[in-house]
Amino acid sequence: MELLQQGAEARLYRTSFCGKPTIVKERFNKAYRHETLDTLLTQRRTNQEVRSLLRCRKAGIACPAVFFIDYEKHRIYLEEIVGAETLRDAFCRLGNGDEAKRLGRMIGRTLASMHDADIIHGDLTTSNMMLRPGNECAGGVSEEGQLFLIDFGLSSVSTVAEDKGVDLYVLERAFLSSHPNSEAVFKEVLSAYRSATKNAKSVVDKLEEVRMRGRKRSMLG
């Protein structure tokens, strides 16, 4: 297996499984955590990741297929999204122009479907979304690419508007700090989310409430 990435919680490898391009996500123990607690946390994250991936696929939201789970080694074998890049890389390449705004609207629509399925991602950042470009068609017209959600280890299931609002707040903070001057792009995320989700008003009201709390906290130092 080829090591792709060594993160804080997991190692990612590229391999093939039944002839298909595969990503193996292996969670490892952390030396500084109590062993039993650590194993429990690792198991819980693996379980949550698999559960939410399946729930997303059932709801028609693009995410990697789960090929195999090795509970002993805390490994998940996932479909590799071939030819895709993280949205983080895409935004770094695109800046804040029209193409970035179009991607922003795609994010908003995808998150609306995810929240309508009562899935809370728990770690929304542009590194946890991948874009597979559409095919170039004849005449230079290209079909729209596809946005995949990944990294569901901190996800949960909830119908509560506040949980969805906090999910958006986490993304807003991550988005604006990773991509300078991207306020207008993030506005597109929210406006597409508002037009696509069932209970937009209560979620966006909660987002506003969480923002206010954040501001008060930072004023208090």
User: Where does this chain bind ligand ADP (CB under 6 A)?
Assistant: 4-5, 7, 9-10, 12, 23, 25, 64, 78-81, 84, 86, 127-128, 150-151, 153
Bridge partner list, 5: 12
Question: Between residues 5 and 199, which has the closer beta carbon with respect to ligand ADP?
Answer: 5
Residue 123 known to be catalytic: yes
Nearest to 79 by CA among 132, 141, 9, 29: 132
Among 22, 46, 110, 128, binds Mg ion (CB under 5 A): 128
26 binds Mg ion (CB under 5 A): no
Question: Between residues 126 and 197, which has the closer beta carbon with respect to Mg ion?
Answer: 126
Stretch that binds Mg ion, among 17-25, 41-49, 62-70, 148-156 (CB under 5 A): 148-156
Taking a C-beta distance cutoff of 8 angstroms, is the pair 1, 13 a contact? yes
38, 89, 123, 163: the active-site residue = 123
Taking the complex as a whole, the smallest distance from the CB of residue 86 to Mg ion amounts, in Å, to 9
Strand segments (E) across 1-128: 2-6, 10-17, 20-27, 66-70, 75-79, 85-86, 119-120
CA-to-CA distance for 157 and 67, rounded, in angstroms? 22
CA-to-CA distance for 178 and 199, rounded, in angstroms? 28
Taking the complex as a whole, the smallest distance from the CB of residue 47 to ligand ADP amounts, in Å, to 15
